[in-house]
Structure 1
Amino acid sequence: MEEKLFKILKKIYFKKKYIKDINGYLREIDCGDEFDCKTKTTHYATNNLTSTEQTYLAESGYNVNEIIHLTHNQCIEKYKVILQNENITLEHCLSAFICGFESFPRGRQPILSYLFAKAVPIHEFTDEGCCPVCSIKNNNWIHCGEKIFRLYHGYSWNEGWDTYVLDLEEFSQLLPCKPTENDINIFRAVIECIRNASAEETPSQLEQRLRKAKIIPYYEKYRVRGQLITLAELGIMPNMYIKPLYDGFTAFKERCNISHKGKGCVRSDIVLPLSGWRGSNPINEERLNDLFGDIL
């Protein structure tokens, strides 16, 4: 994605919806966006763009408000089909993950999506609400424009698998990326920081150390957390509660039960397997070497 287009999309999707009045109080402003209660998606207005930006956006062909509908069964089928694409390999996804530390933030999510696509069993929707196997609902409306933009912004996560099928489909159309020397140095520094964790250190305390150490450029809590989640799902940051996606699949219902029962795992904004990590067992060195030995 070109930098100019990215900046325009940021003005659309990341509007500031509140301003301070003369008394210092936050006041909501009308940004023109409309929320659809049926699809649970937002129709984003573009009236905050300049005429030049409007023209550039139109000529780019980027569909700001494209909404697609996918059933649960369609999502699972798409995940399995995309694995046949020659650009969707473990090697390419791991390389993109390293690039995600600086040169290519878009590269952070594909490895998580790839691991899920490989691990999730083929199954059909048989329940109300969300699927107890994979958490995907029977009907899903996905805001493609916003989701793709957030991927380029560097967000990654190991939940919400109905939307991340788009990640692999878009990623499959991109040329493989090669980590820069700086990407690798940042990754090395992050690994060393994890190695130096105190025995009782928690994921949130690790995040604070990473922020203070200024290792990762443009540090933002949830984007960095996504990168740590990846290290946990690869089994590089071990936990004692649940196997990482790299080692196999754990049904959504079982993951929920483990999250509620596991000592020290209950935290609203940090999820398994990262929430089960502790500094007493900082790095699985063998796994690290198996996956990233050539790069490191």
Structure 2
Amino acid sequence: MESRSISETQNLWAYAALAVVCLLWGTTYFALRIGVETFPPFLFSGIRQVAAGGSLLLGLGLAGKLKITRTDVLHQAIPGILMLALGNGVVGWCERYIPSGLAALILSLIPVFVVLINYASGLDRRRPHRLIMTGLFLGCVGIVLIFRDNLRDLARPEYLSGMLITFFSCLIWAAGSVYTKHKTSGSSNVLQNAALQLFFGGLALLLLSLFLDDYRELKTVTAPSIWALVYLIVFGSVVGYSCFVYALKHLPIGVSSLYAYINPFIAILLGYFFLQEPLTGIPSWRWRRR
């Protein structure tokens, strides 16, 4: 009876954490777009994640709740690199060339990819329902319809590359989510797990930055980019990612991925009101060449 009560309480907290993720991560596409406008994108995301992960680790250490083993490091570094470096971090670069609303819309396919990866990896032997396959197809068709007035932009290599790489990042994030759900380190400390993932994901981004960023852009970094970085460290990573890891641990992976369906609405509205991304009956973004 007592264990059932604890489980129900955990579920309530998990749904609350998921609600926080739905709200906060919808705003991160907007903040990320502002941040990478004048800040080298991989360096920006690398600083964000290392600062967030390092802060959590420091806080846990001061509170005497930090107990890290080699197994913890290995199992948390892998999803950190998958989700935060090759997933979220790469999207920052993509948002230099595609609208933030489009990036959020593409990433709404994460739940579908999660189901497909679960099946392909053998973790879930149930054959994907035809509705799932239909959802993937309709999602792709929906992206084309919403951006039909911008199909001419696909002739620009950077725009097409931004879209394709965002699809790749979506797939990698889904793979990282599946790994986190099924290949846990045994540690029950959710904050420690989130901190290690953030920290190692950030280190991977800083390494990528050495090869892919142009550091001359640091001379023109603006105050809005700095404030966007601060916002993303605190709310996008420390608060949002910790809540995501908690929800992922206590809820079915399909449920914990539902945030991806809500984030685009917030991202599209913020893009409409603040980034001049026009919203019509079928939204269409007039994206200016950099």
Q: Same fold (TM over 0.5)?
A: no
Higher relative contact order (CA 8 A, sep 6+): 2
TM-score by length of 1: 0.28
Larger strand percent: 1
